Amino acid sequence: MKFLFKGEIINYDFCFGKEKSVLFLHGWGADKNAFASTINLLKNKFNILTLTMPTIKETSFVWSLQDYANLVLDLLKLHNIKQVYIICHSFGFRVASLIGKSFNIEKIVVTGGAGLKLNNIFKELEQNNKKIFLNKWKFLYSSIASEDYKNLSKINKQTFKNIVNLNTKNLICFTCPMLLFWGNKDKETPPAFAKIINRHNNCKLIITKGAHFSYLKNNALFNNEVIEFLC
């Protein structure tokens, strides 16, 4: 399906006919197929809404995080979805955090969620006397950001800056139940992120072997946990 948002053509899929709906929000540089196996398992139980949010593909204007949130909210409104379950990865959690301030999220599954500003993370770790690897983490984040950034167009570089420089820590408090699924070797969004989110919410926290894409590496476990959590 196609949806026009501020002049941009957005590709999305919506499978309907069920009572409840699940919204999938992918990570930076991914697309609407990022959770393909999970979608396949849930499509007989839920309405499924999944979209490709423009991140690395060149766009006609500079996006803010609010633009991404408004895009998703417009799609929810278009299909008359009043409340939703969300499954999100990395950048998708940034978007979900903003959506949660104006929309009824019933439950949310977060894997490798981004949005906590590094300086605040390091400060909190230091306050908890967890100084080991802090300098190493800072170097790794700098390298990762450079790799994501250098291949973008001029417009998309500004979009990237808008996203990574926005601290959404004040948005991570949800009133709904949360399932956090994290890799113990995640360098992009370390397990410390999950532990901070866990302290502010009603969460089930699972830290398993894997890196930033632990939901793919441990796909069977992830899918089982999602089904148990949502159904």
CATH assignment at residue 186: 3.40.50.1820
pTM of the model: 0.87
**Residue with the two structure tokens 């690897």:** 133
Average pLDDT over residues 64-91: 97
* Cα 217 from Cα 140, distance rounded (Å): 21
SS3 210: coil
pLDDT confidence bin for 12, thresholds 50/70/90? very high
Q: Flag whether pLDDT at 129 surpasses 80.
A: no
Average pLDDT over residues 140-144: 47
Neighbours of 72 (CB within 10 A): 25
The per-residue pLDDT for range 156-213, each reduced to its tens digit, is: 888 888 887 776 666 678 889 999 999 999 998 999 999 999 988 889 999 999 999 9
Q: How many domains is the chain partitioned into structurally?
A: 1
pLDDT confidence bin for 140, thresholds 50/70/90? very low
Q: Whole domain around residue 36: which residue ranges?
A: 2-230
Q: pLDDT: is 172 or 134 the higher one?
A: 172
